[in-house]
Amino acid sequence: MSILYEMKRVIELEASSIKALSEKIGSNYEVAVNLIHNCKGKVVVTGVGKSGHVGKKIAASLASTGTPAFFVHSTEGVHGDLGMIQKDDVVILISNSGETQEVLNLLPSLDKIGSKKIVITSKSESTLAKACDIYLAYEYEKEADHLRLAPTTSSTITLVIGDALAVALSILKDFKKEEFHLFHPGGSLGTHLTNEL
């Protein structure tokens, strides 16, 4: 077995899946961006496992590019953290299968709260897709690990969808470098902007 061959295979598989995504996204994605753009509250991202880790990054990217957002772990949600969510918020639920029980457990309370729901999933006919206002569905051939089990391709696609949402929203908001610097004054990026502005 060639380690470099396997690493290249993973990269090429995930890259081809992203390319396929760019060719298949439809009007649901634009509807989701407009829903978030017109939201009077915040964006709340939720998920568990690898989807949860990706969700944290999506929330951070949204927040740093002009869309107030934070992450709520789905399990913690049903143990009190749902109190962070209000009617005017938009909740982005992440589940590759669309059947993740910890995420499904949030639905009754979210329905009572009245917040809008967007799901990112590979299954457009899943329970979550049917329960949410908008579903952002994606397809992929297989996970990139040798067992075809570990979230690799699916989590990368979800991350890319989050980046696409964040950038589209930032453009709609006419988000400027000065505002980015306000939210990101630290690190080498903050120093660069300080010198530039």
Which contiguous run of DSSP H or E holds residue 175?
none
Question: What angle is formed at CA 188 by the lines to CA 64 and CA 177, rounded to 5 degrees?
Answer: 45
Nearest CA among 153, 124, 146 for reference residue 137: 124
Instruction: Report the domain count for the chain.
Output: 1
Please give the pLDDT value at position 77. 98
Domain holding 11: CATH number? 3.40.50.10490
Give per-residue pLDDT as tens, 105-164. Answer: 999 999 999 999 999 999 999 999 999 999 999 999 999 999 999 999 999 999 999 999
Structural domain of 53? 3-196
Please give the pLDDT value at position 97. 98
- pTM for the complete prediction? 0.95
Residues 6+ apart with CB under 8 A from 186: none
Give per-residue pLDDT as tens, 30-64. Answer: 999 999 999 999 999 999 999 999 999 999 999 99
Please give the pLDDT value at position 181. 87
- How confident is the prediction for the chain on average, in pLDDT? 96
Compute the Cα dihedral for 99, 105, 108, 114 and give only its sign: negative
> Residues 137, 121: contact at Cβ < 8 Å?
yes
Query: What's the average model confidence in pLDDT over 13-41?
Result: 96
pLDDT category of residue 169 using cuts at 50, 70 and 90: very high
Please give the pLDDT value at position 1. 72
pLDDT category of residue 192 using cuts at 50, 70 and 90: confident
